[in-house]
Amino acid sequence: MSQSYAKSPAAERKFTTREMVLVGMFAAVLAVISQISLPMPTGVPITIQVFGVALVGAVLGSRLGTTATLVYVLLGAIGLPIFANFSGGISSIVGVTGGYIWAWPIMTWLCGIRPKTENKTKNLAISIGFALIGLLIVETIGGLQWHFVGGSMSIPAIAVYSLTAFIPKDIVITVLAVLIAIPIRKGINNAGNR
């Protein structure tokens, strides 16, 4: 008696050449954006990396965006100098700032969720909400690793410092990334339909 097994949609879903090119391009975008940073005495630089992370997710969607972010993180982890201030290696992942880095795929996935209500304004508000939840996760995981690895600042001190040095700027650039992603996504989709 023969049995037939239906493949799940996830098992059948492979990357097209176009999708692989987009993943590579946006991993490179993250590498470039990561070099825009201001070193700080705490050892945690002020960067616009969350802008790139949010942009990648909002443009490519959860699946491709998360893949691009994972490619970026893995390339940096194996030693390519693509993290902030041309750093790289596993020490970047397990060091003071590592929590921020390995939380980025979570943020990218959340930024890539595409709500499908009948109202464009509501869709945009939901997208921004998911992006800000992603930012909160990044700041929380990053802050906790900073505390446990760095050890020089308490969790409340890190929270206060983050609320003054990082979070207001990160909220603005995260929302900006979601807004900028709309015309970029349309442009990519239009180019793919030619």
Q: Is the pLDDT of residue 4 over 50?
A: no
Q: Is the pLDDT of residue 174 over 60?
A: yes
90 found inside a domain: yes
7 found inside a domain: no
Q: Is the pLDDT of residue 59 over 90?
A: yes
Instruction: Give the SS3 label for residue 35.
Output: coil
pLDDT for the residue numbered 1:
45
129: containing domain = 17-189
Q: Which two tokens stand for residue 12?
A: 């059948």
Our CA dihedral for 19, 25, 29, 30, rounded to 10 degrees, sits at 60
10 found inside a domain: no
pLDDT for the residue numbered 27:
97
Our CA dihedral for 16, 19, 20, 25, rounded to 10 degrees, sits at 160
pLDDT for the residue numbered 5:
47
Q: Is the pLDDT of residue 92 over 70?
A: yes
Mean pLDDT of 13-18: 89
Mean pLDDT of 68-78: 97
6 found inside a domain: no
Q: Structurally, how many domains does the chain consist of?
A: 1
CATH number of the CATH domain containing 57: 1.10.1760.20
Report DSSP letters for 91-145, one per residue: HHHHSTTHHHHHHHHHHHHHHT-----S-HHHHHHHHHHHHHHHHHHHHHHHHHH
Query: Are the beta carbons of 109 and 62 closer than 8 angstroms?
Result: yes
Q: What is the mean pLDDT of the chain?
A: 90
Q: Is the pLDDT of residue 124 over 70?
A: yes
